[in-house]
Amino acid sequence: MRNGPVTVFDKEGNLIRGQIDMPPQYLRGWVEFYKLKFKVTPDVLIPRPETELLVDEVLNWVSANPKIKYPLKDHRDQVKDHYSIIDVGTGSGCIATSIAKNLKRRCHIMAIDISKAALDIAQENLKKHRVSEVFLLECDLLSTLSPLTKSGSNRPDIIVTNLPYIPNHRIDYLDPSVRDFEPRIALQGGPDGFDLYRRLFSEMKEKNLIPKLFIGEIDETQEEIALQEAKKYFPEAKSEVKKDLAKKPRIILIRFTF
Ligand SMILES: C[S@@+](CC[C@H](N)C(=O)[O-])C[C@H]1O[C@@H](n2cnc3c(N)ncnc32)[C@H](O)[C@@H]1O
């Protein structure tokens, strides 16, 4: 750590010891995301405002697709009574919780993280917001999930994710408040930042866990690589990159029409 300790008091007068560069959100212990308050500690990434766009996209897609059909064995279609969503790399649980609190329809959300410490914080946030639709799973991407069953009943409707996407060589140059305090496992994305996305695409393919819609947050420099990799893994799908409010490329949407 670069700086020495400082002493800070919270609103209730409790003493918080921290470092000079420690983000105020960690000192305070909470952050607002999608108009909800989330507990944060240095075990989880501090949710960023641009990530709210992912939640918007999920809610918009559900409004535009009020009926989800899936084929029965006898080739008739059945209308599903809930949406099934997977949030990969849930961290504080901000995306999954915000979806559950704002979706006006029944849903099952599986929120995955490789970090047990992060899942403990997510659990507290789910409890605080009285969310019962979200199930937490400690898992490396989709590795322990079963492949798509013959009936297709475990096909997710949406996979939403904000995986780590910072190229490793940029980590040392990040603002110290990020570099020295936010969990490395939430930041590092391999040599070009896209390693985890490639692995996730590969597992989706391998297990045939292809949703109707994939939504992933990317770095502003990754528009081209994101579109290229999406095309490579899913040539029949339609992909687009959307910009954030600062007009920077921020999310990749992959629509599967099959
Ligand atoms: C950029 S943070 C996003 C956290 C939260 N979803 C958000 O948007 O604020 C990425 C998260 O992915 C998790 N993660 C990293 N590698 C993973 C892996 N191989 N499998 C599952 N989760 C992983 C990290 O622990 C971290 O919580």
Residue 7: pLDDT band (50, 70, 90) is: low
Residue 80: pLDDT band (50, 70, 90) is: confident
**pLDDT above 90 covers what percent of the chain?**
80
Least Cα distance to 33 among 54, 12, 64 occurs for 54
**Probe target for ligand 1 pocket from 55, 113, 125, with the most ligand atoms within 8 Å of CB:** 113
Helix (H) or strand (E) holding 240: strand 238-243
Q: What is the DSSP letter of 258?
A: -
Structure tokens at 202: 């590969």
> Residues lining ligand 1, CB < 6 A?
45, 47, 51, 88-92, 94-95, 112-115, 118, 140-141, 162-164, 185-186, 196
* Residue in the structure block whose two tokens are 């939403």: 160
Ligand 1 atom nearest 187 alpha carbon: 1
**pLDDT at residue number 6:** 55
Least Cα distance to 87 among 7, 18, 165, 156 occurs for 156
Q: Choose from 45-54, 60-69, 145-154 the range with maximum mean pLDDT.
A: 45-54
pLDDT at 49 over 60: yes
Look at 15 and 161; give whichever has higher pLDDT: 161
User: Can you tell me the distance from the alpha carbon of 9 to that of 29, in angstroms, rounded to the nearest whole number?
Assistant: 12
CA-proximal residue: ligand 1, atom 24 (nearest): 186
- Cα–ligand 1 centroid distance for 90 (angstroms): 6
**Probe target for ligand 1 pocket from 34, 40, 45, with the most ligand atoms within 8 Å of CB:** 45
pLDDT tens readout for residues 102-153: 998 899 999 999 999 999 999 999 999 999 999 999 999 999 999 988 777 7
CA-proximal residue: ligand 1, atom 13 (nearest): 89
- Cα–ligand 1 centroid distance for 146 (angstroms): 21
65-74, 93-102, 155-164, 217-226: least confidently modelled range: 65-74
**HEC readout, 71-125:** ECCCCCEEECCCEEEEEECCCCCHHHHHHHHHCCCCEEEEEEECCHHHHHHHHHH
Backbone phi and psi for residue 61, each to the nearest 5 degrees, phi listed first: -65, -40
**pLDDT at residue number 15:** 59
**What are 238's strand-pairing partners?**
255
pLDDT tens readout for residues 144-196: 999 988 777 789 999 999 999 999 999 999 999 999 999 999 999 999 999 99
